[in-house]
Structure 1
Amino acid sequence: MSKPLNAALSEEIAQRLSHKAKTSFDNAYEAALLIPGVTYVQGFLVLPGIPYKPMEHCWLEVEDAIVDPALPHLNRAPEEIWYFSAQRLSVKKLKAAIEEAKEDYPEDDPLPVYGPAPYEYYGDAMLGGKDYLEAFQAAEAKCRELNQSELDRN
C-alpha cells in the first residue's frame, strides 16, 4: 500500500526549489538535497484519464508520507494520484549512484537510477529489476481499473 501524499508539504517544497526541472527525477533529487532524512523513490504514477497508462515518476518519502515536488504540475487533486514504488534510495546512495553514472556515462543523464542488471521488461522498456516489473504491473492494473469505461469506448 502506498503512503499518503502530503499535498501541503509537496507544494511547499515545490516553491522552495530554485528552478523547475524538466523531470520529476530532477525535481525530487533537488528537493532531496534540501530536506534532511528523506528517501528518494522511483516508480510509477497513475492518474485517471489520459495517457491511460502508468508514467515513470519520482518522489520523496518523509516519515510516513509521500512528498512530490512535481505535484503543482500534475494538475490533479491528491486523491486522484496513485504512486507505485519500485526503488528507494537514501540521499547518500543516490549521490553515489549519480557520481558513478556521470563517471561511467558522461554523455547520458544520470537520472533515473536503475540499479544493477539483470533488468526486466516492463511496458516498452527494459530498465530496472524485478521490483520495477512488479511496480509497473501493479500500476498498470490500477490504470485499467480507473480507466476501464474509457478504454472500452476506444
Structure 2
Amino acid sequence: VAPVTLPKVVGALQPQKATQPQKCGFWSEEFGLHPDSVEWLSSTKMMIRNVPARCTELELRVYLSTQTTDDFVLEMPKTSPAKCKGYAFVQMADSVALADLAKALWQQTVPTRKSARLFKIHPAESAEKLPLSLEPFSLFV
C-alpha cells in the first residue's frame, strides 16, 4: 500500500487574530472598555480620559454633539478656567445611547486639537446602582 500524502494547508492551525481587545475580554489599557462590551448597557455615565489640557468645555461639547443626537450632560473638571484636568464625564438618560456614543468615540480624539493621545473611555458607574428610593423592594412578613 502506497503512503497517502495530504496537501499542506498553510495557516490552518495558526491562531486567528482577535477582533477585540484581549486583556480581560474587552478591556484595553490604552483605549479603555471596547464599545462592543455588554458592560456599556449597564451604565448611563462615561468617563473620557486623555482629553487635551487646553481643550475647552465648549469645544468638547460641540464635538460630542456631532457624535450623538441624544441629550447629554457634560462635566469637565478644570485645574484653572483655561485648563482641563484631562478627563470628562458624559451622562445620558439611556444606556443604549451611551453605548452608541462609545462606538463613535472609540480610538478618537478631539479633531480641533493636534493630540496624538486617543481617548480612553469606560463606564463611570453602573446603572444597576440605583438611589435607594429607586431600588425595588419587597415586604417580608
Which interval holds the TM-score relative to the shorter structure?
Answer: under 0.3
Q: TM-score, normalised by structure 2?
A: 0.22
* Larger-Rg structure: 2
Higher normalized helix content (fraction of residues): 1
Q: TM-score, normalised by structure 1?
A: 0.21
**Larger RCO (alpha carbons 8 Å, 6+ apart):** 2
